[in-house]
Amino acid sequence: MSNKPRVGIYGLTSCAGDQLAILNCEDELLSLASALDIKSWVMAQSVNDEESELDIAFVEGVIGSDRDLETLRSVRKRATILIAIGTCAVWGGVAAMKNHLSRERMRELVYGDKAEHIDIQKALPLKAAVDVDYELAGCPIEKHQFLTLVGSLLHGDLPEFPQVPVCSECKMNENECLLVHREEVCCGALTLAGCGARCPSLNIACVGCHGPVEEAHYNANFRALRAHNLSKDDIMRKMSIFSSPAWMPKVLLQDDSLEKEGDYAKTN
């Protein structure tokens, strides 16, 4: 990698919230601009180089169209390091909530029966199509984690963020548990930390926007939620908002024994 790495920041199908989170690094923007040779960032600059090789490519959003797939493969071919930023790029995010419906049906529901020309496909994370060197989840990504990531890259390595659930940060903040005391569907036990338990600290149950923590025990948490009189539909609706492909393994969708085990946990 050269002394001043050549960087590209790209967005596929998404709300562009992760790029906006980078722009919101207001106090650090000048330092970032002086440390990085930003070759392409359509959201932030009008002159972009889409031909040169890249040392680092940050990509947000899902593969939601043929155009997205073409762009991603082109970026992957040019970049030494490709980093998925945001929960959409890492897990599929909100766009993957309805992946169980056919794209034809989705197109008809959204655009009507005269929109066959609209290019859409099943919403997929980046790793479904190309090799990804690092993933930084979050909806949007956390500013401090992105700056730490860039700092590590400038030193020639990658950061190691704690692989613990949001519940850990919630406990450190001495918050009252919203599941235990209010019987709300809270995804904190299954969600990767990094947000500082922002929502539970404001008495808002975690919706899992950082995606699943490593080796999450879905069945045990499902049973724990059911034991607090929460319905299967409410649990699945909440858990599927941001990381449906990860939260909704077939066993959770189809195995009725979980309901029976949930009833068992509730009565014992």
Mean pLDDT of successive 10-residue segments in the chain (268 residues)?
86 97 94 96 96 97 96 98 97 88 88 86 94 97 97 95 94 95 91 96 95 84 85 82 70 54 37
Predicted model pTM: 0.88
Contact 178, 225 (CB under 8 A): no
Residue 29 has a pLDDT of 93
Residue 119 has a pLDDT of 87
Query: Six-digit token pair at 257?
Result: 């024994």
Query: Six-digit token pair at 33?
Result: 């601009």
Residue 147 has a pLDDT of 97
- The DSSP bridge partners found for residue 38 are 7
Residue 265 has a pLDDT of 36
Residue 264 has a pLDDT of 31
